[in-house]
Structure 1
């Protein structure tokens, strides 16, 4: 790596690439980011064009610095309102994918607008473009605002790069791209966050989505928090709001892989790690964990996992003879305590 002059290389334990690149401000508004991971759509939260491509395509990029892409059509999603108590942007994404199907945005550029987006925290915003890979999207885009610009400037200043690289606050704003007033969309959809409730995706499809109330009581063997979708500080905070003063049910495991070492450190400072451990949880190395069946939580044959990840395909976590339910961190935590899929709102009052 050093011999090739690679500067943005992060060793084992630093975390998931999408989270770490966001923390390091390696991606800026208006940039095009192509990566050999389908969830490169993640960087749309910064107002960048992020898309996943194949390994051979990345090799061509390394060799030439260029790649041909068909320009995707655009779909607009207008989001209004505010998240109700006990819900999250993960619930919104599951609702959207459940309504429109896992190919509802196939090779499209998904554009999120509206006051419902601007009211979300940055951690919550990151979930949305990340999950759009499960919608079939080529990329997903959130309009960058002052929250995003302030975040990037703070991060660049931490790395002492704003002067070195010329990335001033003004430059970042000028690099941002915005939708044209007369832009053409092949479809437009509108969602009111005020009507949202906790949602769960059933095995083995991300679009097999129902309200948590419809499957409450389903036995789970393992509850897992983490991934590039829901492994951030806000996510462990939501889980700990449920776990505080409680214990994980017998015969149920609760695991957490922070999205980055920074998330783990911040969670430690805020007392979330203590709350999690006192509840009987187990903490793994910051990173992807068992998301794609690698390590640190692969389910046994016949086991049921409820996960804050983005995919529940058969065999996704390394065992074909197991089942994966997808949900928000709060639902995952509530299910760990009860030993069955549970509504977190009943435990957060």
Structure 2
């Protein structure tokens, strides 16, 4: 029986020769991840289990990134609980203010995930690491607690959709445009509890940052995970960032897919998701005059070095439109420093933007960018639900860094080709 890439990884970690869609398995974990919002709940559940230590102090990671630097007393107490737990359990991979980054940017940068791994995280966008050829998925805090205690968790083996990406994307079309196009095509539940497996000759034109963005938003189509084959670019990234051994898995030729979807990347245009779902997509050519109040560039979806370079290329030497607030969030401290060395931070500030420490804050309406009633924001984040970034009567439009930067200059949603 042929297996998909995801099914092969899960079979290996379950100690089985093969698995099939719908099968319940118990799999060994290579990393268990939590943040300052989800870990406090997991810690309370962990204590109920009655064990004194985590299964492996090198395979648990806790990153304080959502409400940090702390926005209020409650968030400070949550971070204190995480801090004390990490110290008590001798957790190696604990990242606090000054060393932290947005978790799904930081984990790959630190080399904590490699191809062939099985990773769970108490955050829905843990699916990001599929860009590295790993199986990674979001879980609840209780599952995180059990994973920290035992090093195992259960899964229902997902079926899969194969996405064949063909040809070279046009200028200004990035990974964000590709995944928004896909979500617009299949809907927010089009891949419900399925593995979204990407392949095709078009992959050669996608950078690792493109792939991280696409895998990151698999959950926005309902996917259990998103995953890319391991190619030369992947291996180069793994060797640069990690000393862990990795294993390459490939889908069988006779693997079974619920659906096979071909996408000609050369025909895609910059894409925007309108309120209040990521599936409400339009190409930039279909967007009429929509004025904006705020622009957010960053997050676990588009806060990487390539994203900042694209934004700076558009903003450099120009001025942000009057009455538009632009907030830029580098994904990690390392990215922040690299942007500083390349002069990008200076370009942003001179254009009229503000640059923040790495944080998830504005993406989930936490802090540092809350929207008031009636305000509109174009954002490189991953969700635009009602009230996602502030008031329930505000609006969030999702787009790439190029479209976001171009819109910042125009004061309305704009094609980057036109600025």
TM-score of the superposed pair, with normalisation by structure 2: 0.78
Give the match for residue 345 of structure 1: 417
Instruction: Please say which of residues 214-223 and 327-336 is displaced more in the overlay.
Output: 214-223
Q: Is the 8 A contact 2:108 2:241 kept in 1?
A: no
TM-score, normalization by structure 1: 0.93
The higher relative CO (CA closer than 8 Å, separation ≥ 6) is in 1
Among 10, 27, 34, the residue aligned to 2:120:
34
Unaligned ranges ≥5, structure 2: 1-85
> Which of 321, 335, 340 lines up with 1:268 in the alignment?
340
Please state how far the C-alpha of 1:63 moved relative to its aligned partner: 2.1
State the partner residue of 1:56: 142
Query: How much is the aligned-residue C-alpha RMSD, in angstroms?
Result: 1.1
Which position in structure 1 is the counterpart of 2:308?
236
Which deviates further from its counterpart, 117-126 or 326-335? Answer: 117-126
d(CA) in 2 for partners of 1:216, 1:274: 32
Q: 1:64 Cα shift?
A: 2.2
Distance 1:55 1:208 in 2: 30
CA distance in 2, matches of 1:283, 1:26: 27
Partners of 1:228 and 1:286 in 2: how far apart?
A: 10
Q: CA contact under 8 A between 2:305 and 2:339: conserved in structure 1?
A: yes
Residue 284 of structure 1 and its aligned partner are, at CA, apart by: 1.1
Q: 2:285 aligns with which of 204, 209, 213?
A: 213
Q: CA deviation at 1:176?
A: 1.6
Residue 255 of structure 1 corresponds to: 327
* SS of equivalent residue, structure 1 residue 67: strand
Q: Which residue of 178, 196, 203 maps to 2:268?
A: 196
Counterpart secondary structure, 1:86: coil
Distance 1:151 1:83 in 2: 22
- Secondary structure in 1 matching 2:203: helix
Identify the residue that residue 40 of structure 2 maps to in structure 1: none
Q: Deviations over 1:5-47 (max 9, x none)?
A: 1001111242111111100100011110000100000000000
Tell me the distance in 1 between the aligned counterparts of 2:135 and 2:161.
Answer: 15
8 A contact 1:116–1:193 mirrored in 2: yes
Structure 1 counterpart SS, 2:95: coil
Secondary structure of 2:367's partner?
Answer: coil
- Mapped partners of 2:180, 2:237: distance in 1: 27
Q: Give the distance between the partners of 2:92 and 2:200, measured in 1 at CA.
A: 37
Equivalent residue for 2:359, pick from 258, 265, 287: 287
Q: Does 1:226 align with 2:298?
A: yes
1:192 and 1:271 map into 2 onto residues whose CA distance is 35
Q: Contact 2:325/2:353 (CA < 8 Å) preserved in 1?
A: yes
SS of match in other structure, 2:106: helix
Shift in Å, 1:294: 1.0
Partners of 2:147 and 2:408 in 1: how far apart?
44
In 1, Cα distance between equivalents of 2:172 and 2:107: 29
Instruction: Answer yes or no: is 1:7 the counterpart of 2:92.
Output: yes
SS at match of 1:43: helix
Q: Which of residues 159, 169, 177 in structure 2 aligns to 1:91?
A: 177
State the shift of 1:279 in Å: 0.5
Rounded Cα–Cα distance in structure 2 between residues aligned with 1:154 and 1:64: 30
The CA deviation at 1:60 is 1.5
User: Matched residue pairs, number?
Assistant: 333
Cα contact 1:74–1:187 (8 A) shared by 2: yes
C-alpha distance in 2, partners of 1:134/1:309? Answer: 11
